[in-house]
Amino acid sequence: MALAEAARKVANEFEYTSEDVNAAVKEFLREMDEGLEKDGTSLSQIPTYVTAVPNGTEKGLYMAVDLGGTNFRVCSIQLHGNTTFSLTQSKVKIPAEIMTAKTAEELFAFLAKQIELFLKEHHTEHYEGHIQRIATGTTDKEYREQEIFNLGFTFSFPVQQIGINRGLLMRWTKGFDIQDAVGKDVCALLQKEIDKLHLPVRVAALVNDTVGTLMARSYTSPGKTSTLLGAIFGTGTNGAYVERLGRVKKLAGGKENAGAYDASTGEMIVNTEWGSFDNALRVLPNTPYDAALDRDSVNPGIQMFEKRVSGMFLGEILRRAVVAVLQDLSVPLFKDEDSSVNELHSTTQISKDSSLFRTWGLDTSFLSIAHGDSSPGLRITRQALDRDLGINAASVEDAEAVKIMAAAVGRRAARLSAVAIGAILIQSGRLETVTGNEELDVVDIGVDGSLVEFYPGFEDYVREALREIPQIGEKGEKRIRIGIAKDGSGVGAALIALVAGKVPNPADAAGE
Ligand code: BGC
């Protein structure tokens, strides 16, 4: 078969039509309702106990840490109170052995150590003063209160939140696998390790990165419109949105656990955990590449939406598709012209050791590169094939074929993302109210993550699909403002730590 034809055939397998989008929106809306009513559903719909979003006037110095996927970030944030902030941060890659450690202690001790290093480097006076007072026994309670940093803990995994700074880990995602931590309060685990190092830090708030993104976007976003949704399209994917309190039906039984929360706004941020939308595969597409990826993952059968949308997985989907074309010896992909028949490795230009033949061997950034490549003869893609996969003699046709497949995987991911965004827009009812005031009629969405930031045309594809949803259409789509909330999770965590600092901690009140 001709190479371009073979590539287009694979691309067709990733086609995600308007009908598909609309069927999935319907299912998403159903799962949203189900998740608001009871626990243990595919879409978790976790109440966050955050009932208000900031307005930009908040002030103060806070700390935040962010355990998201690939990196651990520690930052301090000075909120200036005029919608701006300054941020100091350090970032370390999480070692693979920590991601799959035997005990929770190993992970949390590593995190506490990073907090200590950060304080020593960026807040020496604060740190040394504290340590000295502990050593000389001159720390009185009141002084300690002022000196302690309130820390917002962005923990970007599914957590059953039972209070503003308490939450039990439900399951790991994104390649983490430390069974010892499942079911435990991640704030308590972190606080314990912080205390072992005598750091002047109190874990004041637990935040999912999507909630942080929503808060940060609300703090910085211009104008009178409050933000509806914070969404991450990065290593993983997820969204948190502002829900009417009355609709969060499952809250009724769990209220007392949550401690004090202010119900006066009549709203609460809900963390959907949409990475696990349609784990039953009622409406999600399922190519042979998706199915094989799931089988080989650390968590088969869950995070099925995430496995088709987010950065941790797209490179792997493409890798599997490329290998399938390569293994068809009748297709001249990466093969010398005169040798299309024999055994695979003797006929291709690729060594057996190429990471093309290794699970997770192709990074999602490759998709962005190939999709965005308009250089003559696709020079940039061919260079990337050489650099990332050791394929040094790819032809223009090879590169074109890979580009066609990469674009199809990326486009499907963006259209699936529109399903989640579209359903939440519909559920919010915000498109139904029209004031005629352009500014008030904007529906604001804050996003973050490598895919939205770097994948060329991601937002355009999302918008295209949103227009295909009848309840949104062209008119509705025009009202949607999507803005990147850079450093959202750090700033958002600081903002929640600020709110939490004002609310009496129920645990303290109970004398725990
Ligand atoms: C996690 C979410 C998180 C998302 C984005 C997912 O794997 O389950 O909690 O918000 O990744 O980081």
Q: Which amino acid is at 218?
A: S
Q: Of all protein residues, whose CA lies closest to atom 1 belonging to ligand 1?
A: 157
Residue 421 has pLDDT above 60, yes or no: yes
**Quick check: 424 pLDDT over 90?**
yes
- CA-closest residue to ligand 1 atom 2: 157
For the chain, the farthest-separated pair of C-alpha atoms sits apart, in whole angstroms, at: 83
Which atom of ligand 1 is least distant from the CA of 240? 10
Q: Is the pLDDT at 162 greater than 80, yes or no?
A: yes
| Lowest mean per-residue pLDDT among 23-32, 171-180, 360-369, 495-504 | 495-504
Q: Residues 130-145: what's their mean pLDDT?
A: 63
**Dist. CA 369 → ligand 1 center (Å):** 24
Residue 48 Cα distances to 10, 210, 255, angstroms: 41, 11, 11
Say how many Å lie between the CA of residue 232 and the centre of ligand 1.
8
- CA-closest candidate to residue 254, choices 31, 424, 28, 36: 36
Atom of ligand 1 nearest to the CA of 232: 5
Q: In this predicted model, what pLDDT tens digit does every residue of 228-283 receive, in sequence order?
A: 999 999 999 999 999 998 899 988 655 444 444 566 778 899 999 999 999 999 99
Q: Whose CA is nearest to atom 11 of ligand 1?
A: 236
Non-local (6+) Cβ contacts of 322 within 8 A are 333, 356, 362, 402, 405
Tell which wins on pLDDT, 271 or 59.
Answer: 271
Q: Which residue has the higher pLDDT, 371 or 50?
A: 371
Return the pLDDT at 507.
42
Average pLDDT over residues 178-186: 97
pLDDT at residue number 263: 65
Least confident range from 145-149, 200-204, 422-426: namely: 145-149
First to last CA, the chain: 71
Q: What is the pLDDT of residue 331?
A: 86
Query: What pLDDT does residue 511 have?
Result: 36
Q: Around 40, how many Cα atoms within 13 Å sit in the side-chain half-sphere?
A: 0
Q: 131-140, 243-252, 482-491: which has the minimum mean pLDDT?
A: 131-140
CA of 358 to the centre of ligand 1 (A): 25
Given this model, what pLDDT does residue 145 score? 62
The residue among 302, 225, 239, 244 whose CA lies nearest residue 273 is 239
Which pLDDT value is given to residue 125?
A: 75
Q: How far is the CA of 238 from the centre of ligand 1 (A)?
A: 5
Confidence of residue 225 (pLDDT cuts 50, 70, 90): confident
- CA distance linking residue 120 with residue 41, whole number of Å: 44
Pair 176, 94: CB distance under 8 Å: no
Q: Is pLDDT at 65 greater than 70 in this prediction?
A: yes
What is the overall mean pLDDT for the chain?
88
| Distance from C-alpha of 94 to C-alpha of 75, rounded to nearest angstrom | 16
pLDDT band at 486 (very low <50, low <70, confident <90, very high): confident
Average pLDDT, integer, range 312-328 = 95
Distance 158 CA to ligand 1 centre (A): 7
Alpha-carbon gap, residue 481 to 137, rounded angstroms: 54
CA of 159, closest atom in ligand 1: 9
Residue 141 has pLDDT above 80, yes or no: no
Does 144 have pLDDT greater than 70? no
Of ligand 1's listed atoms, the one at least distance from the Cα of 173 is 7
Within 10 angstroms of residue 335's Cβ, the number of other Cβ atoms is 21
Shortest-distance Cα residue to atom 9 of ligand 1: 157
Which amino acid residue places its CA nearest to atom 6 of ligand 1?
236
Q: Which atom of ligand 1 is nearest to the CA of 209?
A: 10
Which of 95-104, 118-127, 336-345 shows the lowest mean pLDDT across its residues? Answer: 336-345
Beta-carbon-side half-sphere exposure of residue 427 (alpha carbons within 13 Å): 28
Asked if pLDDT for residue 55 goes beyond 80, the answer is no
**For the CA atoms of the chain, what is the radius of gyration?**
24
| Angle, helix 186-196 to helix 104-122, in steps of 10 degrees | 60
pLDDT tier, 337 (very low <50, low <70, confident <90, very high otherwise): low
From 71, 72, 169, 209, the mutation candidate for ligand 1 (largest count of ligand atoms within 8 A of CB) is: 209
Q: What is the DSSP string of 372-428?
A: T--SGGGHHHHHHHHHHH--TT--HHHHHHHHHHHHHHHHHHHHHHHHHHHHHHHHH
Which of 42, 44, 73, 157 has most ligand 1 atoms within 8 Å of CB, for mutation? Answer: 157
**Res 45: pLDDT:** 96
Backbone angles phi, psi at 155, to 5 degrees: -125, 105
Strands of the sheet with 237-244, listed across from one edge: 46-47, 267-271, 237-244, 227-233, 443-448, 480-484
Within 10 angstroms of residue 57's Cβ, the number of other Cβ atoms is 11
pLDDT at 257: 44
* Region 370-397 average pLDDT: 93
Q: What percent of the chain has pLDDT over 90?
A: 66
> Which atom of ligand 1 lies at the shortest distance from residue 174's CA?
7
pLDDT in tens, 4-29: 999 999 999 999 999 999 999 999 99
Tell me the best of 48, 208, 215, 271 to mutate to test the pocket of ligand 1, counting ligand atoms within 8 Å of each CB and taking the most. Answer: 208
Cα of 175 from ligand 1 centre, angstroms: 11
Q: How far is the CA of 181 from the centre of ligand 1 (A)?
A: 17
Q: Average pLDDT for residues 153-164, to the nearest whole number? A: 92
Is residue 342 over pLDDT 50? no
> Residue 107's pLDDT band (boundaries 50, 70, 90)?
very high
Any residues with Cβ below 6 Å from ligand 1, and which? 68-69, 156-158, 173-174, 208-210, 232, 234, 236-238, 273, 275, 306
DSSP β-ladder status, 71-80 and 59-67: antiparallel
Rounded to the nearest angstrom, the distance between the alpha carbon of 333 and the centre of ligand 1 is: 36
- pLDDT value of position 256: 46
Q: Report the nearest atom of ligand 1 relative to the CA of 236.
A: 11
What pLDDT sits at residue 138? 64
The protein residue whose alpha carbon is closest to atom 8 in ligand 1 is: 157
At 139, is the pLDDT very low, low, confident or very high (cuts 50, 70, 90)?
low
Residue 220 binned pLDDT confidence (cut-offs 50, 70, 90): confident
| pLDDT at residue number 261 | 54
Active-site residues: which are they? 156, 171, 209
Among 232, 279, 297, name the best residue to mutate to test ligand 1's pocket (greatest count of ligand atoms within 8 A of Cβ): 232
Whole-number Å distance, alpha carbon 120 to ligand 1 midpoint, is 30
